[in-house]
């Protein structure tokens, strides 16, 4: 490229793009080859490695012109460094003398190894009002003196028509050359670290005021490596600011950020900043108008409450990116205030299941779950996605997960091929919904192959269900049979327990109290049998208590009253029926008293017939015969109709 290359070029060229033209320009370019482009509005030399010094000298042919774009991005390259043209460049006033005179709307000096600048160089322009976009990112500026900071602030004050200002990727030089590494997607950038502007500012703990140009809409100062100076930053005149990128700003301590006046931010990127540094009182303002927010690498996985509090700062967000945060889950009420959320990026986390919190997102259009640890999606989530897809198009991104193809997940595998949700529509590697799927034996196959052999692979699943049903039925039958066996074998004990419980309740309600289990009425011809056989059997072996007249009748009161009182203190009355019973003096009174107690206290009456013929049973018992239990006595213990067993059952059940 000589000075006369375009000598006979007659076209009125308005745009000249010489991008990546290393072999065309290179070191042989002459500074006057642009002199014939008098109508040029756009000059683009991006990635053409002729060095920034040469590129700036080329502009002398455009002095005092008016241009739309001057793009000198990455015209210097570190691999082509020489002693004459070092990559680490200090801009001088002489280098900038041509660019200073041009009225340009968009200026791009990014990625050119600028480490410093002298007075009246980088921030000195004859027409600062012409600038609409200024990109200075990817260099290594230093602002360690008050003069340089003053030049920057003075330029910003003069840029009254600036719309975009980009000062990102500009770590400020630090004397001990301590290197830090900053992640940015798949790339890693090495930049020299920095300290505060001066020790005095740290000691004073001052508040830094930033005055923005009145028309500034986009401000980028991401990937800075410096300590935060002062206790806070106050931004003024920010009513026009719509897009703020402060991602990967390496704070030691996050200052209190205050935006004075109107806050109309629509786009916010705070990726790469540990969220635990700023999510506390008065540290970050409420971004009530932000529609797109990015919080990658923000360490949200440290604490679930941090994530929940973060989302309350952006209530109007439409697009939210919280990928690369080591999230295991999210609180169920995380998005209750984000009613306008449409796109959510949860990719590159460690989710084992889809958080139930997304069920609160009523306007969801796109959900990114790529590269997590998902093995399935629950039926509640798939049903919810199906319901949304009936009203609008839903995009679900699932690539990078290895799902489970077990019997438990067969419904999810079927859902992948029958849903109306758009699954990874732009990913060519996931054509036909062919996700990775792990079988029960550990083999990994595609879900398309699994679905093609769906009935064959999952036919055994139903057998397992029927097996579990059969086992459950067998266990149920065994338990029921065991319960019936217990009831049958212990039916009398159970009946006795129920009867005793019922009787205790009745007696408690009627305020009944019995001293004896039975009153025994007998004649002299049965005295020996009563004392030796009956008493010994009932009291010694059965543990019951009998009232025996000869033994228990107390003196001191009339015989009639004693009998009445004794019968009233017994649960039952036993008449030992012998031929001599009716010859007993008080037998009629005892019968009448027993009848009275039966009516009043439900006292049971039992007659033990010891050898008296049925026809010879006294007619005195006829009035109560329907309520009397008659036991024909036999001393044969082996008889089928054992009288002792009947008597015991009678006494015990009524105890």
Q: Does pLDDT of 320 surpass 90?
A: yes
For residue 621, the tally of other CB atoms under 10 A from its CB is 15
Cβ-count burial of 99 within 10 angstroms (0-12 exposed, 13-18 middle, 19+ buried)? buried
Whether 500 has a pLDDT exceeding 90, the answer reads no
Residues 472 and 578 in one domain: no
pLDDT, tens digit (0-9, with 9 covering 90-100), for 66-118: 999 999 999 988 877 788 888 888 999 999 999 999 999 999 999 998 888 88
Distance CA 631, CA 576 (A): 10
Q: Is residue 388 predicted with pLDDT exceeding 90?
A: yes
Strand pairing partners for 292?
A: 267, 319
Verify that 558 and 596 share a domain, yes or no.
Answer: yes
Q: Is 492 helix (H, G, I), strand (E, B) or coil?
A: helix
Q: Taking a C-beta distance cutoff of 8 angstroms, is the pair 97, 118 a contact?
A: no
| 232-258 pLDDT, tens digit each | 778 888 899 999 998 988 766 777 778
pLDDT at 175: 33
pLDDT value for 23: 61
Q: What is the DSSP letter of 171?
A: P
- How remote is the C-alpha of 75 from its chain's centroid? 49
Same domain, 475 and 571: no
Model pLDDT, residue 200: 46
Split into its structural domains, the chain has a count of: 2
Domain check: are 586 and 634 in the same one? yes
Q: Is residue 317 part of a domain?
A: no
For residue 181, being part of any structural domain is answered with no
Residue 273, in any domain of the structure = no
SS3 507: helix
Same domain? For 548 and 643 the reply is: yes
Domain of 549, in residue numbers = 514-653
In a domain, 649, yes or no: yes
CA–CA distance, 199 with 607 (Å, rounded to integer) = 116
In a domain, 61, yes or no: no
Q: Return the CATH number at 607.
A: 3.40.50.10140
**pLDDT class for 567, splitting at 50, 70, 90?**
confident
Asked if residue 191 belongs to a domain, the reply is no
| pLDDT class of 181 with cuts at 50, 70, 90 | very low
Percent of the chain with pLDDT over 90: 31
466 and 592 inside one domain? no
Split at pLDDT 50, 70, 90, the class of 153 is confident
Same domain, 645 and 549: yes
Give per-residue pLDDT as tens, 619-646: 666 666 667 888 888 766 666 578 888 8
Same domain, 463 and 578: no
Provide DSSP, 372-420: S--S---HHHHHHHHHHHTTS--EEE-TT-EEE-SGGGHHHHHHHTT-S
Q: How many C-beta neighbours within 10 Å does residue 505 have?
A: 10
Q: Tokens 């997940």 label which residue?
A: 409
| Element spanning 117, H or E | strand 114-117
Predicted TM-score (pTM) above 0.85:
no
Which residues partner with 629 through β-bridges? 606
- Are 139 and 169 in contact by the 8 Å Cβ rule? The answer is yes
Whether residue 216 is predicted with pLDDT greater than 70 in this model: the reply is: yes
């Amino acid at each position: 490229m000589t000075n006369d290359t375009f000598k006979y070029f007659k076209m009125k060229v308005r745009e000249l793009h010489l991008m990546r033209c290393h072999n065309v320009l290179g070191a042989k370019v002459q500074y006057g080859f642009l002199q014939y482009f008098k109508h040029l509005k756009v000059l683009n030399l991006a990635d053409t490695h002729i060095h920034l010094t040469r590129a700036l000298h080329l502009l002398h042919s455009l002095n005092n012109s008016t241009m739309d774009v001057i793009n000198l991005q990455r015209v210097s390259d570190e691999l082509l460094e020489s002693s004459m043209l070092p990559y680490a460049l200090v801009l001088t006033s002489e280098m900038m003398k041509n660019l200073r005179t041009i009225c340009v709307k968009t200026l791009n000096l990014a990625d050119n190894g600028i480490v410093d600048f002298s007075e009246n160089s980088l921030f000195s322009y004859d027409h600062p009002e012409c600038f609409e976009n200024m990109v200075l990112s990817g260099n290594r500026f230093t602002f360690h003196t008050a003069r340089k900071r003053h030049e920057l602030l003075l330029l910003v004050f003069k840029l009254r028509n600036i719309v975009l200002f980009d000062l990102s990727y500009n770590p400020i030089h630090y004397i001990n050359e301590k290197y830090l590494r900053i992640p940015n997607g798949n790339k890693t950038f090495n930049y020299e670290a920095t300290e505060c502007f001066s020790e005095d500012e740290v000691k004073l703990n001052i508040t830094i005021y930033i005055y923005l140009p009145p028309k500034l809409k986009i401000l980028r100062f991401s990937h800075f490596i410096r300590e935060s100076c002062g206790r806070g930053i106050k931004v003024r005149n920010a009513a026009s600011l719509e897009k703020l990128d402060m991602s990967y700003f390496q704070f030691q301590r996050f200052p209190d950020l205050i935006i004075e006046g109107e806050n109309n931010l629509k786009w916010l990127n705070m990726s790469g900043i540990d969220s635990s540094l700023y999510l506390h009182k008065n540290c970050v303002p409420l971004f009530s108008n932000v529609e797109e927010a990015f919080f990658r690498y923000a360490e949200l996985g440290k604490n679930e409450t941090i994530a929940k509090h973060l989302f309350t700062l952006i209530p109007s967000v439409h697009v939210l990116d919280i990928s690369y945060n080591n999230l295991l889950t999210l609180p169920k009420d995380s998005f209750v205030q984000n009613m306008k959320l449409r796109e959510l990026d949860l990719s590159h986390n460690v989710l084992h299941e889809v958080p139930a919190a997304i069920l609160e997102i009523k306007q969801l259009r796109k959900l990114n779950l790529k590269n997590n640890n998902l093995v399935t999606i629950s039926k509640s989530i798939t049903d919810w996605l199906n319901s949304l897809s009936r009203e609008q198009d839903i995009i679900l991104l699932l690539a990078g997960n290895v799902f489970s193809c077990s019997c438990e997940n067969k419904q999810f595998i079927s859902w992948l091929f029958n849903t109306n949700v758009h699954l990874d529509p732009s990913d060519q590697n996931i054509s036909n919904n062919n996700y990775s799927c792990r079988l029960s034996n550990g083999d990994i196959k595609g879900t398309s192959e699994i679905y093609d052999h769906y009935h064959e692979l999952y036919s055994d699943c139903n057998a397992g269900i029927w097996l579990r049903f059969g086992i459950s039925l067998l266990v149920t039958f065994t338990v029921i049979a065991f319960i019936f066996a217990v009831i049958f074998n212990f039916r009398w004990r159970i009946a006795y327990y129920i009867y005793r419980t019922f009787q205790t309740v009745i007696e408690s309600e009627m305020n009944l109290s019995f001293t004896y289990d039975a009153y025994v009425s007998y004649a002299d011809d049965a005295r020996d049998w009563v004392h030796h056989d009956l008493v010994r059997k009932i009291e010694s072996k059965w543990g019951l208590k009998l009232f025996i007249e000869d033994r228990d009748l107390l003196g001191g009161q009339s015989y009639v009253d004693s009998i009445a009182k004794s019968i009233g203190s017994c649960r039952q009355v036993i008449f030992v029926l012998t031929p001599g019973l009716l010859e007993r003096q008080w037998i009629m009174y005892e019968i009448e008293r027993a009848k009275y107690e039966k009516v009043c206290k439900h006292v049971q009456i039992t007659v033990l017939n010891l050898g008296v013929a049925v026809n010879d049973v006294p007619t005195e018992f006829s009035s109560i015969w329907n309520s009397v239990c008659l036991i024909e006595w036999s001393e044969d213990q082996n008889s089928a109709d054992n009288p002792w067993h009947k008597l015991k059952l009678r006494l015990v059940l009524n105890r």
